[in-house]
Each structure stands twice: as structure tokens, then as C-alpha cells.
Structure 1
Amino acid sequence: MKTIGVDVGGTFTDLVCCDMTSGQVVIHKVSTTPHDPSVGVMQGVKELCESAGAKPSEIAYVFHGTTTATNAVLENKIARTGMITNEGFRDIVHIGRHQRVEHYSIMQELPWQNRPPVARRYRKTVAGRLAPPDGRELIALDEAGVRRAAEELKAEGVEAVVICFLFSFLNSAHELRARAIVEEVMPEAFVTTSSFISPQFREFERFTTAALAASIGPKVERYIANLEAALSNLGIAGELRIMASNGGAATARMVTEKPALTLLSGLAAGVLGGAWVGDLAGRSDLITFDIGGTSADIGIIRGGRFAETDARSTSLAGFPLLMPMIDVHTIGAGGGSIAHIDRGGAFRVGPQSAGAVPGPAAYGRGGNEPTVTDANIVLGRLDPDNFLGGGMKLDAEAAHRVIAELAERLGLPIDEAAEGVLTVLNANMANAIRSRTVQKGIDPRGFALVAMGGAGPLHGAEVAAMLSIPEIIVPPYPGITSAIGLLTTDLKYDEVRTQFQTSQALDIDRLSRNFEEMEASLAARLRVDRVPDNAVGFLRSGDLRYVGQGYELKIDFPAGPTTPEAMAKVWRDFHDRHAEEYGHAFTASVIEIVNIRVTGIGALPKLPPQGASEGGSLAQAELRHNRCTFRIAGTLKMFDTPVYRRAALPVEIPFAGPAIVVQQDSTTVVPPGAEACVHPSGSIIITLGGRA
């Protein structure tokens, strides 16, 4: 059985084909087609099948990490969306909460006010009211009013409609009835409800999440439909699986129903790929560091488990989200990041990027601004003849020209300007890692940095040195790690119910019944996706806080019967987690369960463990020597640097930096003073200041 993983990035689309029986892996890269990413995807799939010698009919699964939803939100290229809500609550999605995003700024941007997913003129209100704590009906739904609102939205050319009523997380009846009426009036529109997208309390976040889901719904729906048709036309009858933000895969049908699942699709795959690589190398505390052409994505893995966002910090483009997501921090820093002098005369790198088109000057596609890629060429760290394994020749003359122009503006020699570009970029990335580690009480010196993406291995060692991280792991296919991460996951669906119970007055029967009902619902959904019952598993958790607190911490709940003994462990775990997060715990205080969660997991075929190829000797792996420039003790020095072919490197034979290692999907830089070694798992382990 063969599977394909496809991850769409800002500059390149990465692909991998794996024979799940033999473990044989074939990788491929094509340029991303920003006007329509599916064009690049299908070009890559076709070429990959040819390279792998695989017939399209042999492909059982296509796993896809897509940026369609994310880019639609970031670029505000969303559908014209309408909302139907309760009378008097038209402006919940405008007002937001009393907390300011930036406490002391009088000029801050509030995206839900500056670029709302639903313009005010498309927000309609109707009579009807439910009440806590059980969602009982106070005022009947005005069905005629819903119909009038739908007719008005249809006349105004609205493409998507979201229905958001107060307390629908307790009782979805009003939303479901309103949805049926809207679908009757507007059969061509994308229609969803807040209780379907995110059935939990906090109406501003729930309404905003549902509104974003509706606003990207038509685009995601079209993209998935076009992709399925294109795969079918190519002869691939295998099933399409889309990476979700929670670290699992979802069926195409599920994604078209809940498009918000894909809001951080590709980024989640990168963290999974990094975790897989680290596990094979025997490392469980990892910082995943994924640098592409446009951005750098940072994830934290502790004890083999990735960090997840919470209600305080889950957002995209400034919009709060109530969706399970892997915690990935993104900054505008990549190979295509443009070096420039800002209006205040400061030297900056990014966040503007040359992207895939025109790309860096070295790509020869019309780019004429200095980028990180151009600087790496000037410093000898990228070999113009071995980019993408020789599949793409770089224009070194163009790179030197744009960096020379930058150097003239800065009044520096060209090598100083080029090295300055890298220093600024590396400092930006190191600061981003500090914000996810040091500023959260995590010491990065106890972690290994997984340097991946097309540019991660180029910068990983120098960024790690800035943070005193002693070890860098370069995966076997660093530029394709996100695509590989797609082949390491399972189907993964989440259900949540708002609970509001306390440790002082806990109704265990109600809690147990809710868990069982949620598991039964998820099992039925996975059965529809043809997952055998023996391949289904469940994970329970809850959002807990001390009574009176405003936000929660996610705590695992044990499987099996919900007993007083099991709950006693949950309370202890919460105290411990609170102490870890905030430095203290109130062990005598009452704990409140706000939400309970169940994750249903349907096992899928996974990428078999990879091992290092036999290789040869260092002498046999050496291609040539390049003149490469590095900064040592504040002074730029040029080194005669060996360039090695990665596939030919011997296993467990260390080699000293400086060295350059080239392969099809990336280039690895081992700086002076560092030492590298190919691990039996296939990864290169770089150790700073010691043996690998």
C-alpha cells in the first residue's frame, strides 16, 4: 500500500510518497502556485508518482496539509457572510471583551472591528431565548423572523450564513431549527451554527469562531471538491485526508462541514513530523523549528507530547478561536524574507517576503530585492549548483548584485552586509523561541532543536547557539518534514461539553454519562468513516480552574469508570499543573470543571521507522570545497569548507565544522566549533562545542 503526503507552503509545495510495506520513501518539491494551490499540488502528485514508479491506482491515501483556510483569514479574502443572532446581541462580535489586547496602546488594531468576518449590515436579529443552566426555552424562536432574515441575506448576495444564539451550547434546538429554515431559503449558501462548530461557553469567542468558519466555508468547500476531482481524474481512487489543527487528520467531508479544523493545518503537521524524528532519535523534549520561504514556525514538545493552545491564547490573525489546536508560534522569517531599511533608518529582515513569485533574486524570476537566500549564497552556504539536489540552478550573480546594493546603502562591505542579514534573522527567530520557552518558565537548554523546513538546517545551529541549546537534530528529509508528519497521524475528532461542576458538589453520574455519550457519538462518526471498532480509541480531558478564576487548564481524565478515586487523581493533577504553570497552587480551594472533552482516534496506516543508509566514508561523501564565511568572536573569517553529499555520509562517524551538507530538499550548515554525526535513525545530530 502506498500513501502520499502533500504540504503546501508559501514558496514550495512538499510531497512524499511512502510504500507502507517496504518503508521506501520518495520525496519531491515543486513551486507553490499562489493563484491556485491545487495546480501545484496536482503537478507535484503527478511528478511524484512518476518518480516513485507508482501507478495512481496504487495510492491508498493522500494526506494533505492545506493553507487555504489560513491564507483566506490572513489575507481577508473571505466570503460575504451573514449572521443571524438574538435580538439585542447583534454586536457581540464587534464589542468583544473588556480586556484589551495591548493594555497600554491607544492605537491598537482590533481585527474583529477593523475587518470583521461578518459586516454589521449582514448581521440580522430574531426573537428567541434560551436560559442557563439547562438551556430551557424562555422565548420561542421567531421562525418567521428567521425566514425574513434569510431572504434579506439572500437578496444581498451573501454566500455563507452563521447562526449564533446565546446558550446554544446548552441546547442547540433553536440553532438547528434556524439552520433548517435558512437552508430551505438559501440552498446554495454555506450554512453552519455555533453549536456545531464550538459548543462551549464564552459567547464572543464561540460566535467569532463560528463566523470565521462560515466565512472560509465556501472557499474550503470549493478547494476540496476541486482537489478530489483532480485526484480522481489522475486515476487516484484512494481517500483524501486533510490535516487538522488538533494534530489529527479529518475526512474531506468533515473538513467541508467544519472548515475551521484546517486553520493551522500545515503548521500542525510540522510539529508531528518533528516529534516523529525526535522519537526515532531517542529525544522527547524538543523545540521544532520549521523555516520555509516565508515564515518560521515554532512548536514545543515535552515528554513526547506537543503543547496545545488554550482559551487565552488560541487565535489566528488576532481573531480568538475556540478550537483544539497544537500550539505553534509563527513569525515572518524565512528564506524569502526581504532585507530592508525601514523609515526610521533601522536595518530589518522580514516580515515581508519575496514568496514563490518572484522569489529571491537568485531564483531568476524577476526578484530584485535582497533576501536571506541571496545572503546565504554570498556567504557560500548555499551551493548554486546543488539547490534542490541540482533540480534548480540559482543565479549567484543576481544574488551578489542585490546584496551589493544593500551593502552600499548600509555603508558596509558585501560580506558584512550578507552576514548582517543572517544575524538579524537569526536573532528574530531566537527571540521568538525565547517567547515560547524562557518567558513561559521553560529552560531551552534542556531541549534539542529540530531544524527542519527548507531553511531550518541552514540556520538551526546558529539560532541554537544564541539560546545555548546544545543539540540540533536535522531530520533525514528536513525540507519535507511537514509532509512526512502527515503520514504519522490518525483520524482525530473532538467533542466538548460545558459542564460547570465543582469538586465540592460533583455529580459523578452526570459526568460519567456525558463522557459515555460523547464517546458513543465519536464512535458513530468514525464508523461512518469506515474505521473498524478495534481501531478506535478515546482520550478524555477537562478544562479546570479554581472557583473564581477566569481561565482554565487542560487536565487529562482517566479512561474507564468515573469513580471518586479517579477524580481524586484529577484534582491532584490540576494542583500540580497549576503549580507548574503559575508557580503556586491552592490545594484547599474548590476546583471547577468548566468543560469536558473527548478525542476520538481512528488508527490509520503510518510511516514505518526509517534508518540511515549505509553511506561510505567522509572522503567518498565529499563533493568539493567551498569558500564560506562565518563570524568568529566578532570577526568575519573565510573558511575552506568541505561540501558533503548527505546520502553518502557514514553512520556514527563524527565530522567537524565548518561543513556544508547538501541533499535534494535542504542544505545543512555545521558551523566552526560544532561537530556532526549521522544517527542510526537517519537524522544528523549537531552538537555545539562537543562531540555528537
Structure 2
Amino acid sequence: MIRIGVDVGGTFTDLILVNDTTKEIKVHKVPSTTQDQSIGVIKGIKELCELSNVALSEIDYILHGTTVATNITIEGDGAKVGMLTTKNYRDILHIARHKKVENFSIQQSLPWQDHPLVLRRHRLPITEKLAAPDGRIRTPLNEEEVRMAVEQLKAENVDVVIICFLFSFLNDVHEKRAKEIVQECWPEIQVFTSSEVAPRIREYERFSTTAMNAYVAPKVNQYITNLVSTLEDSQAKGNLQIMQSSGGMASAEQATTAPMNLLKSGPAGGVLAAAWWGTLDGIDNIISVDIGGTSADISIIPDNIPRVVNPRDAEVNGYPVVTPMIEVDTIGAGGGSIAYVDAGGAFRVGPKSAGSTPGPACYGQGGLDPCVTDANVVLGRLDPEQFLGGDLPLHPEKSAQAIKEKIAKPLNMSVEEAALGILKIINNNMALSIRENSVRKGIDPRDFALFASGGAGPLHSIDLAETIESKMVMIPNYPGITASSGLLVSDLKYHFNSSYITSLQGLTQESVVNVNKELLTLEEQAMDQLKQDGILEKDIVLERIAECRYIGQGFELRVPIPDGTLTKHSIQNLIEGFHLTHKQEYGHYFPGNTVELISLDIVATGLTPSLMLPDLEEGGSLNPEAAFLYERNTFFEVDGEIQEIPTPRYKRENLLANDVIEGPAAIIQRDSTTVIPPNWEMKVSKNGTLLATKKTESSKFLVDRMHLSKVGVENE
């Protein structure tokens, strides 16, 4: 079997090919084509196949992580959405929850009001009403109003129509009928109902999720359709699968039915890779920092299990989106982040990026602004002739000129001081994000290893680890294409949800039977979908989850449902599981309170082949001569002073298991460069991972014990 993982970033498109028969692994990078990501994807796939001497027709799977949906929300250029909603409730998307990030600010931007997903004139009221708690019809659907509304939306030339009625999660009869009418009157328009997209309680979140799904749908679906057709035209016969926000893959067909599930497609692959590499090297607690050309994706991974955001807390750019998402914080910090002096004279870096075009000044493509990559070039941490294996030669004189004119002169600094300042600012920006995602949630980053990935990750990782006091840094085998590697360790995964509101105390036998029927229906849907995707029944894993709360509470918690057919006894176990989850989440629970079931969720996983890394030959050398390339002066800060130090370069491909390299040093490979400061050293694991620690007895102890204990358990 031959598989390709391809991940699109803001600057580069990263690719990895794995041939399970020959055990060959090839990596490649091409500049991203922001005007149409598929151009860069196809170009990269073709070039990688040529490098690997493999025909496109021999590829079995193409696994893809994309930022198309994310970019639409950032740039605000999504579809013009028309909405049919219950009469007197057209302003739910505007009113929201009356909650603001800054409670006492009267100037902050509220995205759902300043940049609504559906303009008010496109939100049309329809006479209809269902009643809680059972969804019975109180007011029948006025079908003529639906037809009139369709004509009005036609005149407004909307791109897609959504139908969001109150209580449709209890009974979708009105939404289904309204959709039928819309399709009769306007066959070519795409239509989504809230009961299809997010069949959950809470109308604002359900409406917002449906609106976001429609907002990104036309462009996302067009992108996937174009990619599929172009691959077919190129004689590629492999199955195309798309990474979802949840960390699971979806077939291309399934991805187009719910494009909102791709909103965090890009960062998810890097998090999966970090968790996989941690397991591979016996390191349990990981902070993943994936630094690319435009942004840095940061995720805390305790026990090598990526954290999934509770659906109630999931949001994209301020808009609630009730869909499973891996917990990732993305900030504007990358190799292309622009350094500047603001109007007040403050030294700043990012979030604006030079991207791949024109890119940093050193690219020689017309960029005049100094970027983080320029700072690394000026400080000698990036060798111009080695960047991307020499495919993109850098121009250090342009970097020095840009930093001198835009930073050093205005702030009365030397060029080297300004360059070091750029790195300090960008590293502190990332450190603040790490603390926000760890310390504020009761996690001590000192007990976690820092997993450095992305093309710029190994350049910054050790300085960043010093800032957050992490004891170890991990550099994977292919840091520049780690997110692509993560695609190869993921499985197909789908979520099937159904609202089912009932008290769990004193359930009648009839109610127990009905809950089992609802679970069985969801399980059958899950099995059918995975079988359609070619997954054998033995490779299908179903996880059953109940969303529960105490009666009167505002929000639910997710609790595993016991295996097998539910009985009154197993439902009691479910209740006890909820009490335990409540205690873990909030520190207390109420054993005497009534527990209420709100919804049922099936997480369906189709197991697929994973990545296999060969063990390296045994080496065990200190600063191995076989890997030595040359020596070059590099600037480091030592005891508060900038020093220019002769620094050896090593070729990563020539390093062997248990080799140790003492800093200062730089380890060079095609997709990245790892910088080791003077007071650190690097050891190579048997799998090829680079493990960096400070030059102390305790750190050496940690490296030697890496397969026996998790990082951070030993308090020095």
C-alpha cells in the first residue's frame, strides 16, 4: 500500500509518501498557492511521486489536511446565506447569548453582530411552531410563506439556504417539509436544515452552527470537487480523505455534506502526530508547538491523548460551532511573521505575515519587511544554501538590510540585537499562549516535554522551552512536514448525534427500550457509513457517549455509555459515571440530585494502517564525525550578552541511535534546521527522534530514562 499525506499551510504545502511494501518514506515541500490551494497540492503530489519513482496511479490513499474552511472565516469571504426561521425569532443570530468576552467594554467587536453570517434582510420569518418537551405541532407550517420566502431569496441572489426552526431537534417534520418546498421551487440551490447539521438543544448554537456550515460550504465543496476531478484527470486512483477538526479522517463525499467539520482540519494533523511520537518514544505528556510560515498551533496533550473541546465550548473566530474539535490554539507567529515598530515606538512581531508571496526579505521575491526567518538568517541559524535542500536559496544581505532599515535604525540597535529581539518577542508570544492553555487550566508546563514541529519549530523550540521551563524538547524525524505525518496515523472517524431528553432516575422499561432503539439507530448509521468507505466490520470501533446534566443545570457533560444493551442496572452505572465526571470537572457532585439525559452520541472509528518508522542503526557517538558537515559562526545570547560562536553543522540523515550532540550546534535536514544552544545537548532515540535537554546530570538521567518514565514525574 502506498499513501500520501498532504497538508496545506499558509506558506508551504507539506507532503509525505509512505510505501508500506518497500518501507520507503519520502518527504517534500512546495510553496502554497493561496489563490487556489489545489494547484500547490497537485503540483506537490506529482513532484513527490517523481522523487519516489512511483506512478500516480499506484497511490492507494491521499490524505489531506486543508485550511480552506479556516481561511474563509478569517477573510470573511464566505457565501451569501439565506435563512428561513420561525416567525418572531429571526434575530436569534444577532441577540446570541448576551455574553461578551470583555463584560465591561462598550467598544469590543462582537463578530456575530459586526460580521453576521446571515444578514438580517436574508433572515425570513415563517409561521410555524413546535412545542417542548416532546416536539408536538402547535402551529402548522405555512407552506405558502415558504414559497414566497424562496422567491424573495432568489431575488436577493443568495448562494445557499438554511432552515432553522425552534425545537427541530425534537421533531424535524417542519424543517424537512420546508426543505422539500425550497428544492421544488429552486432545484439548483444548496439547502441545509439545522436538524441535519446540529440536532442539539439550544437554538442559538444550533442556528449559528448551521449558518457557519452554509457560509463555508460553496467554496469548500468547490475546492474538494476540483481536487477530486483534477486527481482523476491525472490518473490518480487513490481514495481522497480529508482531515476533520475532530482528528479523524472523512471521505471526500462525506466532507462535502458537513464542511464545517473541516474548520480545524489543518492543525489537527500536527496534534495527532505529536501524540503518536510521544507514545513511540515513551514520553507521556506533550506540549505540541507547530510553527509554520504564517502561524503557530499550540496544543497541550496529557497522557498522549489529544484533548477534544466540549461541543458547548467549540467556536471559530467568535462564532459558536457545535462540532467536535481537537483543542488547538492558533496564533500569528511563524517564519513569515513581520517585525515592525508601531506608531507608539513599540517593537512588535506579527500577527501579520508575509506568507509565501512575497515572503520574508531573504526570499528575494520583492519582500521588504523583516520577518522571523530574516532574523534567523542574520543570526546565522539558517544557512542560506541549505534552505529546503537548496531549492530556495536565501539572500542574507536582504535580511540584514530589512532589519537595519525597519528595526535597528529606529530603535538605535545593532542588526544582531534587533534580530535577537525579533526572536525573543515571537518566543514570548508563544510562551504566553502555552501558559494560557496550561497553567490557567491547572497544568504545569514544566512537567511536559515540548514537541517542536513545523519548518520553524526546531529553530525556536529550545529557546521556547527555556522560557516555559520545560525540561525536554522533542524534534520528530520530519519536523517540517509533521502535520502531514499526522494524517498517516489518523483513522476514519464520524460523529452521529441524536437529542433524547429524559430523566435517568426511575426510567420505565418502555423508556429503556426506547433509548436502546435510538442508540441502535445511530450505531446502524455509523456502521453503514464506514462500510461505504470500505472499512471491514472487524476494523470498526464504536464509542457510545451520553450528554447528561443535573436537572436545572445549564450545560451537559459527556459520559461513556456502558457496553451492550442498556438495562436499569447499566443506566445506574451511567448515572454514577456522570457523578464522577462532574466531580472531576468541577470538584464536587450531588449524589441526591436527578440526572437528566440530553443527547446520545456515537463516535464511529474505522481503523486504518498507521505510520511505521524503522529503527536506526546503533551509534552512541559523541558529536559523530560521520554526520559533521562544516562549521559556521552563529549568534547566541550567553549570560545576557550576544556572542558570535563557531558552531558545527551536522547532517541529520547521518545520525545514528544514541548519538549525542553537544551545543552549540545545528542539525540540518531538508525540511528544517534544529538549533542547539551552548548549554543544551541532543540525544537521538532508536526511532530517530531528537531529544534535547540541558547539560546537567538530571537532564541526562531524564534522557536515559525516557522509555521507563514520563517526563516531569521526577521533581528535581
TM-score, with structure 2 as normaliser: 0.94
Amino acid of the structure 2 residue aligned with 1:214: A
Find the partner of 2:682 among 676, 679, 682.
Answer: 676
**Distance apart, 1:608 and its partner CA:** 2.3
C-alpha distance in structure 2 between counterparts of 1:445 and 1:399, whole Å: 35
C-alpha distance in structure 2 between counterparts of 1:485 and 1:352, whole Å: 27
What CA deviation, in whole Å up to 9, does each residue of 1:392-444 have, x standing for no partner? 11111111111122111111111111111111110110110111110001111
1:431-580, aligned counterparts within 5 Å? 431-506=432-507, 507-580=511-584
C-alpha distance in structure 2 between counterparts of 1:563 and 1:383, whole Å: 66
**Distance apart, 1:184 and its partner CA:** 2.2
C-alpha distance in structure 1 between counterparts of 2:86 and 2:3, whole Å: 47
**Distance apart, 1:572 and its partner CA:** 4.1
C-alpha distance in structure 2 between counterparts of 1:57 and 1:613, whole Å: 34
| Contact map agreement 1:575 1:586 (CA 8 A) in 2 | yes
**Distance apart, 1:533 and its partner CA:** 2.0
For structure 1, the 5+ residue unaligned runs are: none
2:192 maps to what in 1? Answer: 192
C-alpha distance in structure 2 between counterparts of 1:476 and 1:563, whole Å: 49
Question: Aligned with 1:99: secondary structure?
Answer: coil
**Distance apart, 1:292 and its partner CA:** 0.5
Question: Aligned with 1:498: secondary structure?
Answer: strand
Quickly say closer, same or farther: Cα 1:600–1:311, change in 2 above 3 A: closer
**Distance apart, 1:348 and its partner CA:** 1.1
C-alpha distance in structure 2 between counterparts of 1:107 and 1:140, whole Å: 43
Question: Aligned with 2:313: secondary structure?
Answer: coil
**Distance apart, 1:554 and its partner CA:** 2.4
| Contact map agreement 1:354 1:371 (CA 8 A) in 2 | yes
**Distance apart, 1:587 and its partner CA:** 4.1
C-alpha distance in structure 2 between counterparts of 1:499 and 1:630, whole Å: 60
2:637 maps to what in 1? Answer: 631
Amino acid of the structure 1 residue aligned with 2:458: P
**Distance apart, 1:345 and its partner CA:** 2.1
Question: Aligned with 1:539: secondary structure?
Answer: strand
> Is structure 2 residue 647 aligned with structure 1 residue 641?
yes
Amino acid of the structure 1 residue aligned with 2:397: E
C-alpha distance in structure 1 between counterparts of 2:341 and 2:572, whole Å: 59
1:99 maps to what in 2? Answer: 99
C-alpha distance in structure 2 between counterparts of 1:53 and 1:636, whole Å: 47
What CA deviation, in whole Å up to 9, does each residue of 1:561-591 have, x standing for no partner? 3245544444444444434333444444433
2:708 maps to what in 1? Answer: none
Quickly say closer, same or farther: Cα 1:627–1:229, change in 2 above 3 A: same
Tell me which moved more, 428-437 or 21-30.
21-30
Amino acid of the structure 2 residue aligned with 1:555: V
Find the partner of 1:600 among 563, 587, 604.
Answer: 604
**Distance apart, 1:45 and its partner CA:** 0.7
C-alpha distance in structure 2 between counterparts of 1:568 and 1:394, whole Å: 65
Quickly say closer, same or farther: Cα 1:312–1:524, change in 2 above 3 A: closer
Amino acid of the structure 2 residue aligned with 1:514: E
C-alpha distance in structure 1 between counterparts of 2:614 and 2:471, whole Å: 24
C-alpha distance in structure 2 between counterparts of 1:53 and 1:399, whole Å: 37
2:276 maps to what in 1? Answer: 276
| Contact map agreement 2:657 2:687 (CA 8 A) in 1 | no
Question: Aligned with 1:460: secondary structure?
Answer: helix
2:23 maps to what in 1? Answer: 23
C-alpha distance in structure 1 between counterparts of 2:522 and 2:481, whole Å: 36
1:403 maps to what in 2? Answer: 403
1:606-621, aligned counterparts within 5 Å? 606-612=610-616, 618-621=624-627
Tell me which moved more, 647-656 or 472-481.
647-656
**Distance apart, 1:529 and its partner CA:** 2.3
| Contact map agreement 2:10 2:294 (CA 8 A) in 1 | yes
What CA deviation, in whole Å up to 9, does each residue of 1:18-53 have, x standing for no partner? 112333211110000111111111110110110111
C-alpha distance in structure 2 between counterparts of 1:608 and 1:348, whole Å: 42
C-alpha distance in structure 1 between counterparts of 2:157 and 2:40, whole Å: 31
| Contact map agreement 1:127 1:141 (CA 8 A) in 2 | yes
Question: Aligned with 1:30: secondary structure?
Answer: strand
Tell me which moved more, 186-195 or 677-686.
186-195
| Contact map agreement 1:490 1:601 (CA 8 A) in 2 | yes
**Distance apart, 1:604 and its partner CA:** 2.2
Question: Aligned with 1:403: secondary structure?
Answer: helix
1:334 maps to what in 2? Answer: 334
C-alpha distance in structure 1 between counterparts of 2:210 and 2:614, whole Å: 41
Question: Aligned with 2:60: secondary structure?
Answer: strand
Quickly say closer, same or farther: Cα 1:61–1:567, change in 2 above 3 A: same
Question: Aligned with 1:407: secondary structure?
Answer: helix
| Contact map agreement 2:542 2:603 (CA 8 A) in 1 | yes
Amino acid of the structure 1 residue aligned with 2:688: G
Tell me which moved more, 44-53 or 520-529.
520-529
C-alpha distance in structure 2 between counterparts of 1:561 and 1:324, whole Å: 26
Amino acid of the structure 1 residue aligned with 2:315: S
1:290 maps to what in 2? Answer: 290
Quickly say closer, same or farther: Cα 1:558–1:331, change in 2 above 3 A: same
Tell me which moved more, 505-514 or 221-230.
505-514
2:365 maps to what in 1? Answer: 365
Question: Aligned with 1:174: secondary structure?
Answer: helix
2:658 maps to what in 1? Answer: 652
2:430 maps to what in 1? Answer: 429
| Contact map agreement 2:293 2:456 (CA 8 A) in 1 | yes
Quickly say closer, same or farther: Cα 1:587–1:152, change in 2 above 3 A: same
What CA deviation, in whole Å up to 9, does each residue of 1:571-629 have, x standing for no partner? 44444443433344444443333322111112223222443366796111111112111
C-alpha distance in structure 2 between counterparts of 1:616 and 1:282, whole Å: 19
Tell me which moved more, 656-665 or 177-186.
177-186
C-alpha distance in structure 2 between counterparts of 1:468 and 1:570, whole Å: 41
Question: Aligned with 2:384: secondary structure?
Answer: coil
Question: Aligned with 1:386: secondary structure?
Answer: helix
| Contact map agreement 1:360 1:367 (CA 8 A) in 2 | yes
- How many residues of Structure 1 are paired with residues of Structure 2 in the alignment? 692
Tell me which moved more, 557-566 or 9-18.
557-566
Tell me which moved more, 644-653 or 561-570.
561-570
C-alpha distance in structure 1 between counterparts of 2:550 and 2:459, whole Å: 46
| Contact map agreement 2:619 2:659 (CA 8 A) in 1 | no
C-alpha distance in structure 1 between counterparts of 2:50 and 2:223, whole Å: 24
1:207 maps to what in 2? Answer: 207
Amino acid of the structure 2 residue aligned with 1:437: S
Amino acid of the structure 1 residue aligned with 2:671: D
C-alpha distance in structure 2 between counterparts of 1:78 and 1:205, whole Å: 19
| Contact map agreement 2:60 2:237 (CA 8 A) in 1 | yes
**Distance apart, 1:499 and its partner CA:** 2.8
1:219 maps to what in 2? Answer: 219
Tell me which moved more, 87-96 or 646-655.
646-655
1:158 maps to what in 2? Answer: 158
2:388 maps to what in 1? Answer: 388
Identity of paired residues, percent?
A: 46
Tell me which moved more, 206-215 or 179-188.
179-188
**Distance apart, 1:685 and its partner CA:** 0.8
C-alpha distance in structure 1 between counterparts of 2:112 and 2:70, whole Å: 16
Quickly say closer, same or farther: Cα 1:613–1:90, change in 2 above 3 A: farther
**Distance apart, 1:503 and its partner CA:** 4.4
Question: Aligned with 1:437: secondary structure?
Answer: helix
Question: Aligned with 1:152: secondary structure?
Answer: helix
Question: Aligned with 2:325: secondary structure?
Answer: coil
TM-score, with structure 1 as normaliser: 0.97
**Distance apart, 1:210 and its partner CA:** 0.5
Structure 1 vs Structure 2 CA RMSD? 1.7
C-alpha distance in structure 1 between counterparts of 2:270 and 2:568, whole Å: 39
C-alpha distance in structure 2 between counterparts of 1:513 and 1:260, whole Å: 29
| Contact map agreement 1:273 1:482 (CA 8 A) in 2 | yes
Quickly say closer, same or farther: Cα 1:266–1:614, change in 2 above 3 A: farther
